[in-house]
Copies of this chain bind each other. A is one copy, B any other.
Amino acid sequence: MFKNTSTQFQFYYIYKVRKTIFIFTALVIALLALFQLSKYSIITGNSSVETIIAIIAIIFFVIGILINRRVLHKEKIKPQEIDHKKIETLGLSKREYEVLCEIASGLSNKEIAEKLFVSESTIKTHVSNVLVKLDAKRRTQAIQKAKELKIIPY
């Protein structure tokens, strides 16, 4: 299970790196442009050095804010993603993970059994295994731990 996650991560990484390269290139170009502007201004003597420095400072201040807003926006969405690797390291099987998700949505064993078309005793077995693997005493504690481990969505 969860075999196609690695390729997904690769594509995401390439996309992220490309954008970073683009932003830094734009930054360097802007810096060079400002150098030229400042040299011209000093030669002509029309504007004071203070004004130029102030403009540069403001521009880079704004650039810093804008870049950070984009980066942190991605980080904001990220923590809601589930950690497939942790599910595997915990030894949770596909069916056990399914049951865990249904527990978190507030269903009883009987309701889970009906939803997955199996007997209630089967669900009880799965629940017991989930509790052992998550080191939890109750299903409510399992929900809490699963959320801490980021293996179920909020």
| A contacts, CB < 8 Å to B | 31, 34-35, 38-39, 42, 49-50, 52-54, 56-65, 67-69, 72, 76, 103-108, 136-145, 147, 154
Contact = CB atoms under 8 A, between A and B. Distances in A.
Given A68-B65, A108-B137, A31 B49 contact: no
Contact of A144 (B34, B49, B106): B106
Given A53-B56, A68-B68, A104 B144 contact: yes
Which of A35, A49, A50, A140 has the most CB atoms of chain B within a 10 A radius of its CB? A140
A80 to B, nearest CB: 10
B53 A138 contact: no
B105 A144 contact: yes
Contacts of A76: 72, 76
B64 A60 contact: yes
Contact of A57 (B34, B106, B137, B142): B34
B49 A42 contact: yes
A83 to B, nearest CB: 16
A105 B147 CA distance: 11
Contacts of A140: 103-104, 106-107, 139-140, 143
Nearest to A31: B57
* Highest count of chain B CB atoms <10 Å: which of A35, A53, A141: A53
Nearest to A35: B50
Contacts of A39: 49
